[in-house]
Amino acid sequence: MVNFYGCLSKIDAWKICEQLTKQRIPYEYITDLSNYYYEIVSYSIYICNVEVVDIPHILKEHRIRHNLEYFKFTKEQFILASQEDFIFQNKEIIDFSKMLMNNFDFTKDELNDYLCEIHSLINNDFSPNDIAQFAVENLEIPSEEVLKNILDHLFKVMNSVPRWVLKGHTPNSVTTPEMSKPFNMNRNSKPAPVISISTKKEVGRNDSCTCGSGKKFKKCCGNT
C-alpha cells in the first residue's frame, strides 16, 4: 500500500487490508509491519514508504485533499507493487522506455534503475525542473531533437503515473484542478526547462542561446 500512497494511517491500512482479504485481521499486524519489512517505516499513527523524503509534506498534501479517497487498487496490484524495484507500468512508461532504449545504450538493469529514480522523484513531489534535470544530466544526448523527445515523454509520464500526494491517483485522472496538481505545460504555467546539451544544465535567460546564434537566450529562442 505504501508503494502507491506513500503514507497512510495505520487505521486506514487496517481497513484496506480487511476489505481486500475479506477477513478479520488483527490490528497489531498493521502496527508491527515496520518491524518486519524494511520498506515500511512507522511515523506516529502512520506507516510510510521508506523512500518518502519528506513525510510531513506528503501527509499535508493528503490533508489538503481530505475529500479525495485513496485510489482503490486491486489485491493483485498491491501484490505486484510489493515487489522490489516495482515500477508502475502504463503506455506512457512503456513508450518512454522504448525511446530510451532506441537512443541510448541502457542495459535492462540500468534502465530499471533510471526509471525507479524518476518515479521516486515524481512520488516525492519534486518540481518538474528537478525531475527534468535528473533525467538528462547523465545522458549523452546527441541532438536537440532527442532532448525534446525525452522531455515530451517525461512530462507524459509525470501526468500518468499514480502519485503519493494524490493518494494513488494520477494527475490525469483527477478532474478537479486544485486536487490534481498536474504538471501543466500551458501558457499560464511555468514553461518546461530548456537544457543545454553540452552542460546538461538548465539554460538561464541571460545565458547564451543553445542554438548557437551568439545571442542571449532571452533575446533568441527564449523570447516567447
Name the pTM for this structure.
Answer: 0.76
Dump pLDDT digits (tens) for 96-111.
999 999 999 999 999 9
The full 3-state SS of the chain, as one line of letters, equals CHHHHCEEEHHHHHHHHHHHHCCCCCHHHHHCHHHHCCCEEEECCEEEECCCCCHHHHHHHHHHCCCCCCCCCCHHHHHHHCCCCCCCCCHHHHHHHHHHHHHCCCCHHHHHHHHHHHHHHHHCCCCHHHHHHHHHHCCCCCCHHHHHHHHHHHHHHHCCCCCHHHCCCCCCCCCCHHHHCCCCCCCCCCCCCCECCCCCCECCCCCECCCCCCCEHHHCCCCC
- Would the pLDDT of 32 be above 80? yes
Dump pLDDT digits (tens) for 52-104.
999 999 999 999 999 999 999 888 888 887 777 778 889 999 999 999 999 99
- Would the pLDDT of 222 be above 80? no
Q: Which is more confidently placed, 178 or 9?
A: 9
Dump pLDDT digits (tens) for 105-134.
999 999 999 999 999 999 999 999 999 999
Dump pLDDT digits (tens) for 176-207.
655 555 555 443 444 455 555 455 455 655 56
Sorted by where each begins, the domain ranges of the chain are: 2-81, 91-193
Residue 215: band (very low, low, confident or very high) from pLDDT cuts 50, 70, 90: low
Residue 148: band (very low, low, confident or very high) from pLDDT cuts 50, 70, 90: very high
